[in-house]
């Protein structure tokens, strides 16, 4: 589910082009295999719909914050820290990557024309020792996002982050996340109390949990089942604000999304040494019956 203004830009595209949406430059691709839109603020995937699916896979608020605020929805890149875990406790929520300007370094189309791979990098330095790059791959059956970090400095650095995916769903309360049964998690709504997941996860209200899990998952919202796999992550974050919606999220769409995130958190931070590197990635495919 994307805003009508963004949908109109996508539908007016034949092939690939850059356009402006809500004051931001975006790359739009509309091809035989499907549709893709990426904001160059944050290298953030906003829209993906394969040609054989009538519904968007990602959700974006219809009332995003004006620049320089972040866009709620799609797949924000949280880097080089997750949530409020900046080293000095004063950095922006989820780090600077999601509001920074990024450039397109390359757009590689599959030889058969059945998909595309986009390479992006920040226009300016975001860290004194770490350098990120992002790669987005989309075709008629999958969407993947890779966030690659290289250590170019001289001292070890603690890295956390997330691919903060907002999935478009028919109704949050009808969703089930399969694959977390038995996993330990920290409940952020109860002061990080540690608990065990009993059975599969159903969504009944507000939740904010860090699961200690790297398992493949299935998100079932009653109309389709999406398989979610990841690399470089031992934390899975599941989040929905319940009725206490953020100011940029109208009540009319408050039950149309669920966040299921590949993450490195306080549970599993990555310590990068000089010349070290780390890959955080998520891949989404529709489960075939």
- The DSSP bridge pattern shows strands 217-220 and 34-39 to be unpaired
pLDDT digits (tens, 9 = 90+) for 186-198: 999 999 999 999 9
Residues 9-44: tens digit of each pLDDT:
999 999 999 999 999 999 999 999 999 999 999 999
Tokens 């990068």 correspond to what residue?
Answer: 272
Q: What is the pLDDT of residue 26?
A: 98
Mean pLDDT of 229-233: 96
State the Cα–Cα distance between residues 172 and 243, nearest whole angstrom. 11
**Range scoring the smallest mean pLDDT among 42-51, 107-116, 135-144, 213-222:** 107-116
Q: Looking at the domain that runs over 70-286, which CATH code has it been given?
A: 2.70.98.10
Peptide bond into 80 cis (omega under 30): yes
- Residues 150/92/247/217 CA torsion (nearest 10 deg): 30
C-alpha 146/C-alpha 149 separation (Å) is 10
For the chain, domain boundaries: 70-286
How many Cβ atoms are within 10 Å of 185's Cβ, its own excluded?
24
Q: What is the pLDDT of residue 289?
A: 59
* Beta strands 77-78 and 166-168, pairing class: unpaired
């Amino acid at each position: 589910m994307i805003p009508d203004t963004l949908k109109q830009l996508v539908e007016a595209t034949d092939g690939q082009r850059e356009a402006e949406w809500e004051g931001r430059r975006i790359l739009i691709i509309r091809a035989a295999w499907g549709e893709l839109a990426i904001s160059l603020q944050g290298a953030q995937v906003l829209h993906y719909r394969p040609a054989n699916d009538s519904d968007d896979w990602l959700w974006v608020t219809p009332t995003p914050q004006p620049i320089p605020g972040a866009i709620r929805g799609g797949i924000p890149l949280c880097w080089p820290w997750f949530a409020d875990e900046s080293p000095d406790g004063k950095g922006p929520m989820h780090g600077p990557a999601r509001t920074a300007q990024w450039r397109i370094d390359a757009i590689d189309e599959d030889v058969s024309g059945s998909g595309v791979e986009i390479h992006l990098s920040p226009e300016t330095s975001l860290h004194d020792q770490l350098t990120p790059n992002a790669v987005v791959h989309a075709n008629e059956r999958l969407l993947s996002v890779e966030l690659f970090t290289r250590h170019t400095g001289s001292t070890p650095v603690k890295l956390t982050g997330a691919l903060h995916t907002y999935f478009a769903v028919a109704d949050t309360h009808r969703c089930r996340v399969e694959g977390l049964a038995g996993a330990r998690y920290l409940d952020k709504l109860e002061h990080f109390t540690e608990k065990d997941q009993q059975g599969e996860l159903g969504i009944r209200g507000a939740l904010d949990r860090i699961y200690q899990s790297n398992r493949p998952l299935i998100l079932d919202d009653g109309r389709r089942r999406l398989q979610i796999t990841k690399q470089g992550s031992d934390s899975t974050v599941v989040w929905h604000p319940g009725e206490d919606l953020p100011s940029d999220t109208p009540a009319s769409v408050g039950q149309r999304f669920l966040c299921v995130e590949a993450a490195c958190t306080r549970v599993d931070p990555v310590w990068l040494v000089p010349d070290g590197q780390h890959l955080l990635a998520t891949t989404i495919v529709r489960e075939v019956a």
